[in-house]
Amino acid sequence: MKIALDPYMFRSTPLAELPGLVAEMGYEYIELSPREDFIPFFRHPRVDTAGIRAFKKSLDGAGVQESSLLPLFRWSGPDEDERQAAVRYWHRAIDIAAELGVTVMNSEFNGRPENPAISEAQFWKSLDELLPHFERAGVHLALEPHPDDFIEDGIAAINMIKGINSPFVSFLYCAPHTFHQGGNMAEIMRAAGPLLTQLHVADCFDHRASSGLRYITNPPGNSVRVHQHLDIGQGEVPWNTFFSTLGELRFDGIMTVCVFAWEDRARDSSLHNLAEIKRQTASWSHLS
């Protein structure tokens, strides 16, 4: 299993210094999420060939591997011009992954939950254009249902991925989104089975508690999706269920720490979560 760090809390650190920082904290893998100097949120990648080579050199020098690359684009949105732009951005991002030697990318379904039919049609249109590129490049795509996507439910996302019917597309379970994708963690993981290839690890609170009034936003009944990305043990994700179910399934994919809540103690947070993952997975016989 690959335990990776999403270094988003260290985004002010120069790109070339990230691998060394990750290595100092005991991680062997890095998942690079959106950065303004690499692949920014929802816009065309900024990095050039020289930058890719320099980053690869710094990875090699630190003895760190890039487990996965996480771009976010509006490839399922209802606006067709925006969708076409997102597809162009995706093509460049796939090329970047291939130049880095990265064989896994992960992302979100995107789209709009209030307009799921149009969003799904846009998603399929984009996928028809992009899937051949993923296959040619030898890059696998792990998809997650994200709060405020056109698919938020875990089982629905798995069924959609099964419908894609490609060995290059699999499922990512994001622990801090547990309560937005149904709350039925073990059921979702078991339903995914071998399609479950990647995990995002962070804690959160159950927004549905107290009759849905734990987080009060105005106006009442608005569609905001509240959740957190906290350290393991700081929220209400059932971690015993999480790790025991993964052990039962003999999970051996990518497990990425993606905590965003503690920039003031980012290093301590990263160290804590790595230690906790190692403690929780120490008894997994298939990893020994």
**212: in domain:** no
Report pTM: 0.95
Residue 211, in any domain of the structure = no
**Nearest of 108, 10, 102, 89 to residue 46 by alpha carbon:** 89
Q: Which domain holds residue 44?
A: 2-202+237-283
What CA–CA distance (Å, rounded) separates 119 from 40?
22
The reported pLDDT for the residue numbered 225 is 83
What pLDDT, in 10s, does the model give residues 24-72?
999 999 999 999 999 999 999 999 999 999 999 999 999 999 999 999 9
What total of structural domains would you count in the chain?
Answer: 1
CATH number of the domain that residue 76 is part of: 3.20.20.150
**Looking at the domain assignment, is residue 133 inside a domain?**
yes
Residue 244: inside a domain: yes
Q: Does the residue 159 lie in any domain?
A: yes
Task: Give a yes or no: residue 90 inside a domain.
Answer: yes
pLDDT digits (tens, 9 = 90+) for 97-118: 999 999 999 999 999 999 999 9
In a domain, 221, yes or no: no
Would residue 228 count as lying in a domain?
no
* Mean of per-residue pLDDT scores for the chain: 95
